[in-house]
Structure 1
Amino acid sequence: MPEMTFEVRWPDGSTQRCYSPSLVMHDYLCTGTHYTVGEFVDRSTRGLAEASERVRAKFGFACTSAADTTERIAGAAARFPQQALIQITGMHPALEQS
């Protein structure tokens, strides 16, 4: 199962690198896009839950790293207003353009 990282720039300019056990995060987030903090938490939580379920389907157990990433995002997001903007600054590996 291909894993990936994605990076977010928070409203205060700090950055956070996040882990996903699946490339499914490309279905939820897009490099260069701005999201409100609330929307980012929602999208990343749903994407990481789907990624974890893909791990469960393949290996028989959920991905604890996806759960950890979800918790770290929620902790960081709690410092900011829900309507503040974040930016996705990178997703690795990137999807190939067709």
Structure 2
Amino acid sequence: MVECIEGGAELSDLLPGVTVHGLDVGRWMERQRQHIVRQVLMDEQRIRPAALGIRPNAAPAEKDNTAKRPGTGNRTPSTAAWPRSPGTGSEPGR
């Protein structure tokens, strides 16, 4: 990749599929920008891409775990949804 940059290529030219000596440097660069990949790299492994000008994508926003699943709404439990009819056996003495 350094060869590409020194040869006059811009980072924007190095798309996935661009190879140098058989290695897909475009794909490598794309992975280095992914937050999940950078999260597991050691500090020393983050230095080289940063020195080449490769900046990470923005971290994904935290998910709101309080959001309801689609279709759940504000329903009452199914056992309380319908009133009991008199004489169904739920009253004592019948």
TM-score, scaled to structure 1: 0.25
Q: State which structure, 1 or 2, has the greater radius of gyration over its C-alpha atoms.
A: 2
TM-score, scaled to structure 2: 0.26
Highest relative contact order (Cα 8 Å, sep 6+), 1 or 2?
1
Q: Which has more helix, going by share of residues?
A: 1
Q: Which has more strand, going by share of residues?
A: 1
